[in-house]
Amino acid sequence: MPDIGTWVGAFLSLAILTFLYRDNPFFRFAESLFAGVALGYYIGNQTNQTIKPNLVLALARDFSANWDLIFAGLLGIGLYFRYIQKVAWLARVPLGIYVGYYVGVTLMQKLHGEVLPQMKDTILPLSAPGLAAVWNILMVVGVFSVLLYFFFSLEHRGALGVASRVGILFVMVSFGAAFGYTVMGRVSLLIGRLNFLVNDWLRPLIRAVF
Amino acid sequence: MHLVDRLLATDRRIIYLLVGLGALIPLLIPIGLPVTVTPPVRSAFEKIESLPAGSVVVISFDYGPSTAPENDPQAGAVMRHCFARGIRVVGMALYPLGGLSVAVEEINKVAAEFPVTYGVDYVNLGYKDGAQAAMRRMNEDLHELFPRDASGRPIGELLLMQEVRSLKDTDLVFSFATGIIGEWWINLVNAQFGTPVAVGSTAVGTPKYYAYLKAGQAVGLLGGLKGASEYERLLSDHYPDVARIYESPLLYTATQGMDIQTIVHLVIIALVLAGNILYFTSRIMRRSSPGGRRA
């Protein structure tokens, strides 16, 4: 016989799927419950997996070695000052520090880990042997024509118009591939749910009853 | 109303029903369609094949239950490969909404299939917030970032973690990712610290990872359920013991999922074709009708 967790999961899955027929109270109940549980999970997860081991226990275990963590903790608490009108402005300080930190990290990360390697990979020999030359030419034409499609400082007429029309063809192929993958992804999620309903809930239930 | 117009006005719920039946029937009656292996998956497989026994692979659970039907079989296949080869696994989760839960569930499930010991052959470091900041810290000191494992035990007590002090002591990172965290492993950890990275992505995210793969920034890629099924195929061909695990009727595999996926895709293609044929037939009929041309 399926356990209570499986019964709850099956009921909520079916409640969500009823939306395919029309909006109804079962769907709205499951949707609201999901939002609430997800928030509760998030809070519990952050508290037990990050704040407790990395801040609270670290300070309690060896304060003299970890005293600087107090500043990190204060920055976190400072974000909530926005809910107290008189000191709301103080929340800008930790927010500014977080934004500054992540801008610094992301800027280097994007340039060093994305822009430069991807540019390097686009500089390809057009005289490569065999089919490689065809693929390289296709890649270079694709990159340049798409870049020209997104060049808006000149009207897309004449040679620029032709190049941008080629560019949009590449963009469309890319969208088509992305859409195909999206369909595959969504179908996979449907399969996962149906597999749960059939193999984890219905089959054990039928075996237990008959 | 003409038959063509009536078919064009089909209630969308009929279409849901057809897609649902397309998924349900092969789930109840498996077909066993063949799986062909593509180069990105073979490349990921060969990377792990090239690692000697005793190597350390980081498995990062950067997804939650919302994409588990795609990512679970990927993570399961790669962990089975590691355990079958005697490669040690350091598990962690950087995705806040359910990453820890899927990590605990999947690691415990796969570890139970092999003669492996917690703390010696594998560990689960649990979840850590602030993915990019956490990744930067991992390269310096994993112990400071993860003072305790998922169950709250100090990681200094775990034999494996006494050897693994930072990412420098690991041989490969395999991120199973929904969203952008897999990209961060590539464009931060691989680019700045040189650690080889492979990714198991959701199908939705797969196209963008091809650019990293082609540029040599990722050593392999498992795209969605299809990628997982290809990895299962390779594993079953190379490791008879793992093949027996996949033959268990109690285990849901990506290979079974791809049967269903194929049938649903055929249903969708048929519906797209039928919709277009009906649309153009309707237009031709209107043009040739006595009322003259209509849009």
Instruction: Give pLDDT tens digits for B66-120.
Output: 999 999 999 999 999 999 999 999 999 999 999 999 999 999 999 999 999 999 9
Distance in angstroms (rounded) separating the CA atoms of residues B89 and A124: 38
B147 and B223, same structural domain? yes
Residues 156-185 of B with CB under 8 A from A: 184
| Phi, then psi, of A24 in degrees rounded to 5 | -160, 165
Taking a C-beta distance cutoff of 8 angstroms, is the pair B128, B104 a contact? no
- How much is the pLDDT for B287? 87
Percent of chain B clearing pLDDT 90 (strictly above): 89
Q: Is the domain of B123 the same as that of B265? A: no
Are B98 and B117 in the same domain? yes
Which stretches of chain A drop beneath a pLDDT of 70? none
Q: How confident is the model at residue B291 (pLDDT cuts 50, 70, 90)?
A: low
| Residue B166 within any structural domain of the chain | yes
Give me the number of domains chain B comprises: 2
Name the band, by pLDDT with cuts 50, 70 and 90, for residue B292: low
The span from the CA of A43 to the CA of A76, in Å, is 14
Please tell me the predicted confidence (pLDDT) of residue B255: 93
CATH number of residue B123's parent domain? 3.40.50
When the pLDDT of each residue in chain A is averaged and rounded to a whole number, the result is 94
Across A181-185, B211-215, B261-265, B285-289, least confident range: B285-289
Q: Clarify whether residues B103 and B182 are in a common domain.
A: yes
pLDDT category of residue B293 using cuts at 50, 70 and 90: low
Q: What is the pTM of this model?
A: 0.91
Residues B123 and B11 in one domain: no
Structure tokens at A70: 């107090």
Contact residues on chain A for B264, CB-CB shorter than 8 A? 187, 190-191
The answer as to whether B215 is a domain residue is yes
- Look at residue B294 and tell me if it is in a domain: no
- Is residue B136 domain-shared with residue B160, that is, in the same domain? yes
Q: Is the ipTM of this complex over 0.85?
A: yes
CB contact under 8 A, B192 and A177: no
Contacts within 8 Å (CB) and 24+ apart, A146-154: A146/A170, A146/A171
Q: Which residue of B has its CA nearest to A65?
A: B144
What pLDDT does residue B103 have? 97
Residue numbers of B between 105 and 164 with CB closer than 8 Å to A: 126-130, 132-133, 136, 145-148, 150, 152
Q: Is the pLDDT of residue B295 over 60?
A: no
pLDDT interval class at B42 (50, 70, 90): very high
The answer to whether residue B270 is domain-embedded is: yes
Q: Which domain holds residue B73?
A: 39-252
What's the rounded Cα separation, in Å, for the pair B192 and A116? 12
For residue B36, count CB atoms less than 10 angstroms from its CB and return exposed for 0-12, middle for 13-18, buried for 19 or more. exposed
